[in-house]
Amino acid sequence: MGLALHTTRQDGRATIAARGSIDLHSSDELRARLAELVDAGERTVVVDLTAVDFCDSSGLNVLVRAYKHARAQNATLTVTGAYGRVENVLRTTGLDRFLIAGPAEEAPADGR
């Protein structure tokens, strides 16, 4: 399965809902979209991983670089909706400590 990205803007926040797998073949698309949002002046960017079933090291690399780029632009980038294998890889690598949004933002709309 490839990667589909859908961006919404609401209440001063840009959310990218990702669906599918974030891997070597699809991570460039996510990287470009995240950079585009931050470079366009978005100050709060959320990556919703609720519908992502797989994320490899190239996907993690994109998230870390986007996080650093956002901070350099005085913006925030957080991840929400990570569960299963994706949540496990974030926790195992320690990236959950700075990428995963707090409890108020973390709960996806479908209650997972």
Residue 77 in tokens: 């980038």
CB 69 within 8 A of CB 36: no
pLDDT tens per residue, range 48-90: 999 999 999 999 999 999 999 999 999 999 999 999 999 999 9
Question: Whole-angstrom Cα distance, residue 109 to residue 96?
Answer: 20
Residue 75 in tokens: 């913006």
Q: Indicate the domain borders of the chain.
A: 3-99
CATH number of this structure's domain 3-99, picked from the four choices 3.20.20.140, 3.30.1300.10, 3.50.50.60, 3.30.750.24: 3.30.750.24
What is the per-residue pLDDT for 2? 87
* Nearest to 55, CA basis, from 14, 92, 27: 27
Whether pLDDT at 112 is above 70 = no
Mean pLDDT of 41-49: 96
What is the per-residue pLDDT for 18? 97
Q: What percent of the chain has pLDDT over 90?
A: 84
